Amino acid sequence: MAPIKRPTIADIARRAGVSKGAVSYALNGQPGVSEATRARVLAIAAEIGWQPSLAARTLSGARAQAIGLVVCRPARFLGVEPFFMELISGIESELGSCALMLQTVPDHHAELEVYRRWWGEGRVDGVILVDLHADDVRVPALQELGLPAVVVGHPSVAGSLTSVWSDEVTAMRETTGYLIALGHRRIARVAGLPSLMHTVIRDRAFADACADLEHWTVHTDYTGEQGARATRRLLSSSARPTAILYDNDIMTVAGLSVAQEMGLPVPEELSLVAWDDSPLCQVVRPPLTAVSRDIPAFGAHAARRLLALVEGGPPGSFEVEAARLTPRGSTTRPA
Amino acid sequence: MAPIKRPTIADIARRAGVSKGAVSYALNGQPGVSEATRARVLAIAAEIGWQPSLAARTLSGARAQAIGLVVCRPARFLGVEPFFMELISGIESELGSCALMLQTVPDHHAELEVYRRWWGEGRVDGVILVDLHADDVRVPALQELGLPAVVVGHPSVAGSLTSVWSDEVTAMRETTGYLIALGHRRIARVAGLPSLMHTVIRDRAFADACADLEHWTVHTDYTGEQGARATRRLLSSSARPTAILYDNDIMTVAGLSVAQEMGLPVPEELSLVAWDDSPLCQVVRPPLTAVSRDIPAFGAHAARRLLALVEGGPPGSFEVEAARLTPRGSTTRPA
């Protein structure tokens, strides 16, 4: 079979029995064709689904009408957490007829190659940058490339790029403050990837808030498997924690299962907190106390800022509402 | 601020101090410029990140180098299940430098508008169609449009479009056969959206397999909330089921919580099976017996077939490995 082609001006010309030039005049509202021909050309164009090509519009200086999102995590982690689909659904809610280009890559080098290609080929008008590292190589590279970009992350790592962020330090203080007020004096944190800046920020805020208490931080890859192992190790120590704060929902559920397997009732013997919140947190028993934020709204805000930037709007750092603690059945006073 | 522009031939010409024509000759390997100028032009092009634009390549007859995926589900459902992110990660594993355009839409009418625009504007070379309905309006519309498309779903609803599918009837027979062999005689199914063809296929296969038993089917929107309600209703009937089969993981976890809340130990008093499998199924207690399939491999297969179709390969229906039962701790003989 021959490759399939989309409808072109040549197709319209052939069906209408006129020249391609005449079709072009007719479609562009220029003089040079009769009104009868123009009407016939427009009817045929509508019938066969012709539209001005992206190519023609781009050469005439129009925008790509697309923004890009590159996710640099192993594919198998993507299904583990609802974060990215929620962020994407928020981004899309703002895009209208603008499209989202999505790509997963194995490392930052490959990610930068994608940006160079997309920008060089006129495929995207801008990109949203996620999972920032400390001293992230992508920030200076994007600045140099001149590709409009919005960082979903703290302004301290965004360089001169626009950032959209929420105050994780305040959210961490509120959460640990609540556990301390309940009477907990031995608190552990089962954190995500230590290379990610938001992990670093939460680590520091946790250590600061728990400076006068016994506290532990264990890093994981966000999987339930590593969350379970970290919990088992923490609960096996002689002076075990009475409360554990996890960096996602599935690790918290894994921790709940480990507590059950080790005969420690939740919340009587062990309090658990999930960050972020999710539907999963509400269907398990007990339902999980969680640090909640509106991730779709976060994505929508980032998309709005990027579209404004593409139109020549000012860069800057824009703070969204901080996450807030939602107490449910998995936290109480320590025994 | 002025809108930001990607590097153009004019930028190279200005920096090199030569005409745009000379830059074009140099970049295209044509005669008409000295080797020194060519070297300088290429060095500047590399330095400022210039690439031939998508527009120029498309006008010259090259492909869009992108495929599209439109998801027609309310955004809030996307984060509930890992299915779409797993499918996407599989699709991307086959795309290489080809991009994925992703869009969510509220209904099939909006979905068809997206396809017409993408195809008309030369934005995509083909699309992957998901969540097929019986008598799906998108199938004849895509056939008429001539946009290459691969249906992820049963060939019976794919019309003349290429389909990639797995045998859900066999998987359902294997699953119910196992429960019947364990001794279950009252089996319920908590299903997904009744408008989806794969729900219809599973419904029929379930009813056939359980024809000689007491059986129930309840439809839901895939949320844990509706899964919990359906379970509560089923377990409140006088002759309650001794086994329940759910259409996703989060509803199964919700069902496990309801059993706990109603004092029915799992699996002793109630067996539970999740379809599909997921990391979540393995972190809860007891770990959930599940119907497992390799969703990333499914996505990869669909992408390979679409790329082949775009290159003029034959349409057809292509079967992938059927889902298989993975027994874990949530199923046993009825009390």
Please compute the mean of the pLDDT values over residues B107-134 and round it to a whole number.
Answer: 93
Q: Is the predicted pLDDT of residue A206 greater than 80, yes or no?
A: yes
Contact B99 A118 (CB under 8 A): yes
* Residue (of B46, B39, B4, B3) closest to B18 by Cα position: B39
Cβ neighbours of residue A118 closer than 8 Å, sequence gap 6 or more: A68, A101, A124, A127, A147, B99
* Residue (of A161, A260, A54, A67) closest to B329 by Cα position: A260
Cβ B304 vs Cβ B94: under 8 Å: yes
Q: Is the predicted pLDDT of residue B293 greater than 70, yes or no?
A: yes
pLDDT of residue B1: 44
How many whole angstroms separate alpha carbon B128 and alpha carbon B303? 8
How many whole angstroms separate alpha carbon A225 and alpha carbon A192? 13
How many whole angstroms separate alpha carbon B272 and alpha carbon B262? 15
Q: Is the predicted pLDDT of residue B106 greater than 50, yes or no?
A: yes
Helical segments of A107-216, H only: 108-120, 138-145, 168-182, 197-209
- Higher-scoring residue by pLDDT: B45, A228: A228
Contact A279 B121 (CB under 8 A): no
* Residue (of A46, A42, A6) closest to A23 by Cα position: A42
Answer yes or no: is the ipTM higher than 0.85.
no
pLDDT of residue B121: 83
Q: Is the predicted pLDDT of residue B122 greater than 50, yes or no?
A: yes
* Identity of the residue numbered B320: V
Contact A117 B51 (CB under 8 A): yes
pLDDT of residue B75: 62
Q: Give the DSSP letter of residue A152.
A: E
Proportion of chain A above pLDDT 70, given as a percent: 91
pLDDT of residue B55: 55
- Higher-scoring residue by pLDDT: A255, A45: A255
Please compute the mean of the pLDDT values over residues B301-310 and round it to a whole number.
Answer: 96
Confidence of residue A182 (pLDDT cuts 50, 70, 90): very high
Smallest Cβ–Cβ distance between A79 and the set B53, B86, B92 belongs to: B86
- In angstroms, what separates the C-alpha of A204 from chain B's closest C-alpha? 29
Confidence of residue A209 (pLDDT cuts 50, 70, 90): very high
pLDDT of residue A1: 44
- Altogether, the residues listed in chain A come to a count of 335
- In angstroms, what separates the C-alpha of A78 from chain B's closest C-alpha? 6
Please compute the mean of the pLDDT values over residues A94-108 and round it to a whole number.
Answer: 87
How many whole angstroms separate alpha carbon A274 and alpha carbon A191? 11
Contact B284 A116 (CB under 8 A): no
- Min mean pLDDT across A83-87, A180-184, B77-81, B230-234 is at B77-81
B11 vs A contacts (CB less than 8 Å): none
How many whole angstroms separate alpha carbon B232 and alpha carbon B240? 10
Per residue in B318-332, pLDDT (tens digit) is 999 999 999 999 999
CA angle A23, A24, A29 (to 5 degrees): 100
- In angstroms, what separates the C-alpha of A9 from chain B's closest C-alpha? 11
How many whole angstroms separate alpha carbon A17 and alpha carbon A31? 18
Chain A, chain B: beta-carbon pairs less than 8 Å apart: 239
Q: Is the predicted pLDDT of residue B196 greater than 50, yes or no?
A: yes
Q: What is the CA radius of gyration of chain B?
A: 26
How many whole angstroms separate alpha carbon B315 and alpha carbon B309? 7
Contact B49 A120 (CB under 8 A): yes
CA angle B158, B162, B166 (to 5 degrees): 75
Residue A190 Cα to chain centre, angstroms? 21
Give me the residues paired with residue A325 across strands. A291
How many whole angstroms separate alpha carbon B141 and alpha carbon B162? 14
Proportion of chain B above pLDDT 70, given as a percent: 91
- In angstroms, what separates the C-alpha of B206 from chain A's closest C-alpha? 26
On average, the pLDDT of chain A sits at 90
Contact B79 A57 (CB under 8 A): no
- Higher-scoring residue by pLDDT: A97, B271: B271
Cβ B325 vs Cβ B119: under 8 Å: no
Confidence of residue A80 (pLDDT cuts 50, 70, 90): low
Confidence of residue A197 (pLDDT cuts 50, 70, 90): very high
Token pair in block for residue B66: 């992108």
- Higher-scoring residue by pLDDT: A279, B138: B138
Q: Is the predicted pLDDT of residue B59 greater than 70, yes or no?
A: no
Task: Output the CA–CA distances (angstroms, integers) from residue A328 to A217, A271, B264, in the order listed.
Answer: 23, 11, 23
Contact B93 A75 (CB under 8 A): yes
Please compute the mean of the pLDDT values over residues A23-31 and round it to a whole number.
Answer: 73
A52 vs B contacts (CB less than 8 Å): 120-121
Token pair in block for residue B138: 């998108």
On average, the pLDDT of chain B sits at 90
Residue B68 dihedral angles phi and psi, to the nearest 5°: -115, 150
Q: Identify the structural domains of chain B with CATH numbers, from first to last.
A: 9-51 (1.10.260.40), 66-166+295-320 (3.40.50.2300), 168-292 (3.40.50.2300)
Task: Output the CA–CA distances (angstroms, integers) from residue A32 to A13, A29, A35, A148, B61, in the order listed.
Answer: 15, 9, 10, 41, 28
- Min mean pLDDT across A14-18, A304-308, B330-334 is at A14-18
How many whole angstroms separate alpha carbon A196 and alpha carbon A217? 15
Per residue in B9-36, pLDDT (tens digit) is 788 888 888 888 788 777 766 677 888 8
pLDDT of residue A40: 85
Per residue in B236-269, pLDDT (tens digit) is 998 999 999 999 999 999 999 999 999 999 999 9
Q: Give the DSSP letter of residue B156.
A: G
Contact B79 A85 (CB under 8 A): yes
